[in-house]
C-alpha cells in the first residue's frame, strides 16, 4: 500500500516539494496529493508589477496541471479549512483527507499590528486577485479625477518599506507618468508616499544600496516618510504618529506578515507572530510526520541570531529539502539539517532599475541588477518546468 503524502499549498514551497519528491518516489511507494485553492501557481514575487498595472496577470499565473502532468501528482483544487495533526486528517471545504505525511506550505497572512482601520481601508498584495483589484482601483482613480478634481484620488501611499513595499513603489513611480499621459493629467498632480515606521528602508540591504534605492526613487517622485508609524486609517485618510494626515483613496499595506491562522488553530507551536517553530529538518515540534515550510514557518539565522526573512528563495530551498527528507522517511536514509543558501537579494526599483547583493560581497545596481533579477525568475521557471506567456 503506498504511503500518502499530502502537501497543502502549491506556492514556491509546496510545488517544489511535490516535484522534488516525485524525482525519486515511485507511484508504488507514494501517493502525492497537492491541495491548492487555485488551479494555478502564483509568482508572488512579481505581484508588484501586476498591482501597478505594468504587466498582465498571465505574467504571474502558472497553470499547475501542465507542470505536474505525467508526474503522478494529484491536484485537488480546494480550500484547506483545518488540520488535525493528532488524527492525521485535513479538512478541506469539500472533503476530508487522511495522510501518512503532511507538508504545510500555506504561506503567510498580513499583519496589521492592531492599527485601527488599517485592515478595512487598505489594499494588500499577496495574490493575483488582490493585485487586479489594486490595478483596477488605480485606473479608476485617474479616470475619476477628471470629473472631481479631488486630489486624494491622485495621492498614493505605500505602507511599509521592506522588499515588497519598495518594489511596489518603484513600479508606481514608473507607471504614474504613463497613466498621466493616458489621462491627460500633469504628472505634478500625482503624490506618491512610502511610509515606514522603522528608522530606515529595506532592512537587510547594505547602507550604500539603501541610499542608492532612496536616490533612484526620490528622483522619480517618491516621498519617503521614514520612522513615521501609521496610527489610524479611515476612509480617505491616513493618520501618522507625527500628527500629519494624508488625504488619499489608496493605501497599500505591505508592512507586515504573520503566520497562517490554520497552522495556529491546528495547535502547532508558533512564535508570537504565528509562524510555526520547526526543528532542523523543518518538522513541526512534536510531529515527525508534519513538515511546515515556506512563509508558514520560522527559522533562525545562526550567524545573526535573527530570523531569516520570509522569501521565495528560502521557501523553494525548503521545498527541495523536504522533497528529499520525505523520500528518506519513506525509503530510509539519512537527512542533512536544513541550512538556506542565500544566493543574494535583489529588489527591483521599477522597470529598469534594481539593487542587488549577490553572494556575500558583490553588489550591483541599475539595469544589470534588474536583468539578474529577471534571470533568477527564469531559472526558477526552468526548475519547475513551467512556461509563461509573454505579457
Ligand X SMILES: Cc1cc2nc3c(=O)[nH]c(=O)nc-3n(C[C@H](O)[C@H](O)[C@H](O)COP(=O)(O)OP(=O)(O)OC[C@H]3O[C@@H](n4cnc5c(N)ncnc54)[C@H](O)[C@@H]3O)c2cc1C
Binding residues (CB under 6 A) for ligand X: these are 9-14, 35-38, 42, 44-45, 47-48, 79-80, 105-107, 125-126, 163-164, 167, 262, 294-295, 310-313, 315
CB hemisphere CA count around 336 (13 angstroms): 8
What is the per-residue DSSP string for 1-48?
-PEEEEEE--SHHHHHHHHHHHHH--TTTEEEEEEESSSEEE-GGGHH
- In terms of CB distance, is 38 or 137 closer to ligand X? 38
User: Are the beta carbons of 229 and 245 closer than 8 angstroms?
Assistant: no
- In terms of CB distance, is 60 or 153 closer to ligand X? 60
Neighbours of 239 (CB within 10 A): 18
Backbone angles phi, psi at 181, to 5 degrees: -60, -50
- Closest approach, Cβ 216 to ligand X, in A, equals 17
Contacts for 285-288: CB closer than 8 Å, 24+ residues apart: 287/85
- In angstroms, the CA 68 to CA 22 distance is 10
- In terms of CB distance, is 153 or 318 closer to ligand X? 318
- Closest approach, Cβ 200 to ligand X, in A, equals 19
User: Are the beta carbons of 68 and 282 closer than 8 angstroms?
Assistant: no
- In angstroms, the CA 247 to CA 233 distance is 10
- Closest approach, Cβ 119 to ligand X, in A, equals 17
Catalytic residue among 167, 171, 196, 214: 167
- Closest approach, Cβ 331 to ligand X, in A, equals 25
User: Are the beta carbons of 210 and 202 closer than 8 angstroms?
Assistant: yes
Helix (H) or strand (E) run with residue 345 in it: strand 344-348
SS3 233: strand
Q: Could you confirm whether 167 is annotated as catalytic?
A: yes
- In terms of CB distance, is 183 or 376 closer to ligand X? 376
- In terms of CB distance, is 164 or 248 closer to ligand X? 164
- Closest approach, Cβ 42 to ligand X, in A, equals 6
What beta strand segments (E) does 141-299 contain?
A: 155-159, 191-196, 222-226, 230-234, 237-240, 245-247, 250-253, 257-258, 276-277, 290-292, 297-298
Backbone angles phi, psi at 307, to 5 degrees: -65, 145
Q: Which residue is nearest to ligand X (CB)?
A: 11
- In terms of CB distance, is 214 or 295 closer to ligand X? 295
- In angstroms, the CA 371 to CA 365 distance is 10
- Closest approach, Cβ 140 to ligand X, in A, equals 21
- Per the rule left: phi > 0, alpha: psi between -120 and 50, beta: everything else, 8 is beta
- In terms of CB distance, is 60 or 240 closer to ligand X? 60
- Closest approach, Cβ 324 to ligand X, in A, equals 17
Catalytic residue list: 167
Amino acid at each position: 500500500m503506498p504511503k500518502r503524502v499530502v502537501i497543502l499549498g502549491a506556492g514556491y514551497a509546496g510545488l517544489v516539494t511535490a516535484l522534488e519528491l516525485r524525482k525519486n518516489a515511485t507511484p508504488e511507494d507514494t501517493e502525492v496529493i497537492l491541495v491548492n485553492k487555485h488551479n494555478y501557481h502564483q509568482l508572488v514575487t512579481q505581484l508588484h508589477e501586476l498591482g501597478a498595472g505594468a504587466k498582465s496577470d498571465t505574467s504571474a499565473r502558472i497553470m499547475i496541471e501542465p507542470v505536474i502532468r505525467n508526474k503522478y501528482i494529484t491536484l485537488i483544487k480546494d480550500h484547506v479549512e483545518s488540520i488535525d495533526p493528532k488524527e492525521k486528517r485535513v479538512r478541506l471545504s469539500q472533503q476530508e483527507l487522511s495522510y501518512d505525511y503532511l507538508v504545510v506550505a500555506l504561506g503567510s497572512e498580513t499583519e496589521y499590528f492592531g492599527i485601527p482601520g488599517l485592515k478595512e481601508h487598505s489594499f494588500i498584495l499577496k495574490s493575483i486577485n488582490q493585485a487586479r483589484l489594486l490595478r483596477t482601483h488605480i485606473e479608476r482613480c485617474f479616470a475619476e479625477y477628471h470629473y472631481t478634481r479631488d486630489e486624494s484620488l491622485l495621492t498614493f501611499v505605500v505602507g511599509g518599506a521592506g522588499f515588497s513595499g519598495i518594489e511596489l513603489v518603484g513600479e508606481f513611480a514608473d507607471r504614474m507618468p504613463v497613466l498621466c499621459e493616458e489621462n491627460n493629467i500633469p504628472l505634478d498632480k500625482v503624490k506618491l508616499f512610502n511610509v515606514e515606521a522603522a528608522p530606515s528602508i529595506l532592512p537587510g540591504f547594505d547602507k550604500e544600496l539603501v541610499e542608492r534605492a532612496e536616490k533612484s526613487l526620490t528622483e522619480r517622485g517618491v516621498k519617503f516618510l521614514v520612522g513615521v508609524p501609521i496610527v489610524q486609517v479611515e476612509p480617505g485618510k491616513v493618520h501618522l504618529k507625527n500628527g500629519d494626515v494624508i488625504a488619499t483613496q489608496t493605501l497599500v499595506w505591505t508592512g507586515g506578515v504573520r503566520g497562517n491562522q490554520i497552522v495556529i488553530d491546528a495547535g502547532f507551536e508558533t512564535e508570537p507572530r504565528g509562524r510555526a517553530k520547526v526543528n532542523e529538518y523543518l518538522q513541526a515540534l512534536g510531529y515527525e510526520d508534519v513538515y511546515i515550510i515556506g512563509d508558514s514557518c520560522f527559522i533562525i539565522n545562526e550567524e545573526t541570531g535573527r530570523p531569516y526573512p520570509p522569501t521565495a528563495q528560502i521557501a523553494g530551498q525548503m521545498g527541495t529539502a523536504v522533497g528529499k527528507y520525505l523520500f528518506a522517511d519513506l525509503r530510509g536514509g539519512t537527512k542533512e539539517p536544513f541550512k538556506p543558501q542565500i544566493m543574494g537579494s535583489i529588489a527591483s526599483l521599477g522597470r529598469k532599475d534594481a539593487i542587488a547583493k549577490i553572494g556575500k560581497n558583490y553588489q550591483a545596481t541599475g539595469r544589470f541588477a534588474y536583468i539578474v533579477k529577471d534571470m533568477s525568475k527564469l531559472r526558477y521557471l526552468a526548475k519547475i518546468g513551467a512556461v509563461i506567456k509573454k505579457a
